[in-house]
A and B are shown apart, each in its own frame.
Chain A
Amino acid sequence: ILNVEQSPQSLHVQEGDSTNFTCSFPSSNFYALHWYRWETAKSPEALFVMTLNGDEKKKGRISATLNTKEGYSYLYIKGSQPEDSATYLCAFKNFGNEKLTFGTGTRLTIIP
Chain B
Amino acid sequence: GAVVSQHPSWVICKSGTSVKIECRSLDFQATTMFWYRQFPKQSLMLMATSNEGSKATYEQGVEKDKFLINHASLTLSTLTVTSAHPEDSSFYICSARETGSYGYTFGSGTRLTVV
Binding site for B on A (CB under 8 A): 4, 32, 34, 36, 41-44, 46, 49, 51, 89, 91, 98-105
Cα–Cα, bound, A4→B36 (Å) = 16
13 A-B interface contacts by CB (under 8 A): A4-B43, A41-B108, A44-B93, A44-B106, A89-B43, A91-B44, A98-B32, A99-B49, A100-B34, A102-B43, A102-B44, A104-B42, A104-B43
Known contacts A98-B34, A104-B41: A46-B46 contact under CB 8 Å: no
- Given A89-B43, A99-B49, 6 other A-B residues pairs in contact with their CB atoms under 8 A: A43-B6, A44-B106, A49-B103, A91-B44, A100-B95, A102-B44
Residues of chain A contacted by B107 (CB below 8 angstroms): 43
In-complex Cβ contact of A43 among B4, B41, B97, B103 (8 A): B4
Q: Which of B1-21 contact A (CB under 8 A)?
A: 4, 6, 9
Residues of chain B contacted by A4 (CB below 8 angstroms): 43
The B contact surface, by secondary structure, is: strand
Cβ proximity bits B38-53 to A, threshold 8 Å, 1 near / 0 not: 0001111110010000
Residues of chain B contacted by A101 (CB below 8 angstroms): 46
Residues of chain B contacted by A99 (CB below 8 angstroms): 34, 46, 49
Cβ proximity bits B71-115 to A, threshold 8 Å, 1 near / 0 not: 000000000000000000000010101000011111111000000
Known contacts A4-B43, A89-B44, A100-B46: A51-B106 contact under CB 8 Å: no
Cα–Cα, bound, A34→B6 (Å) = 21
Contact in complex: B102, A98 (CB < 8 Å): no
Nearest CB of B to A43, in Å: 5
In-complex Cβ contact of B104 among A51, A100, A104, A105 (8 A): A100
CB nearest neighbor in A for B2: A46
Residues of chain B contacted by A46 (CB below 8 angstroms): 103-105
Which of the listed residues A34, A51, A98 has the most CB atoms from chain B within 10 Å of its own CB? A98
Cα–Cα, bound, A41→B95 (Å) = 15
CB nearest neighbor in B for A6: B43
